[in-house]
Amino acid sequence: MSEAKWASFLREFNDELLADENVSEWLPVEVVESGWLGFPGATAEDLVTLQSRLGVALPPTYLEFLATSNGWHTISWNSIELWPANEVCWLRDYDPEIIRIWTKGEDIPISDEEYFVYGDEQTTISIRPEYLQDMLAISSRDFANQDQLWLNPKVRFEDGEWEAWHFSTEFPGASRFRSFRELMGSERQAARNLRDV
């Protein structure tokens, strides 16, 4: 998705979220009054610095998102906030406890046939805990259900995208997507579903 397409997507998502009283009622007043959940885009230098700090080339749709809006106040009724480039970090540094919890039990192998299922057919419990040590944390944690958004460098696709996870203890496990762009599309649809209940 190009920066122009991200701008359109984010403007529409922004308007939908701010029109939902369940979202807007707990946001800071200045954010609601500004009418914008995003931030100025990251500069090219910001993105080079981020990738240099992490030691990896990040997936294209995530970089394009950051270049369009360097962070995002919320994605739904929960308090998940997408971080700006300077706050993105490895999960092992941000939340080592979640790694410890999910890797302390018996390691049950998950076949590729079971793991590489996306969309409505996937099972959220079918995750590979051994990937957690290398996850990239890109959001804050919602304390109610421990929701977090991660990017998985252990699963990369031919287009340069990394698998993206929405982790939650509510599922439990993770909803997984082929890219950050797919994850954001799903978050937008989930917010619409909540609003329409």
Cis peptide bond N-terminal to 109, omega within 30: no
Condensed to tens digits (0 to 9), the pLDDT of residues 97-116 reads: 999 998 987 778 899 999 99
Is the pLDDT score of 145 beyond 80? Answer: no
pLDDT confidence of residue 87: 98
Is the pLDDT score of 147 beyond 60? Answer: yes
Ordered structural domains, the chain, with CATH:
3-196 (3.40.1580.10)
pLDDT confidence of residue 190: 87
Q: Which residue has the tokens 């109610």?
A: 144
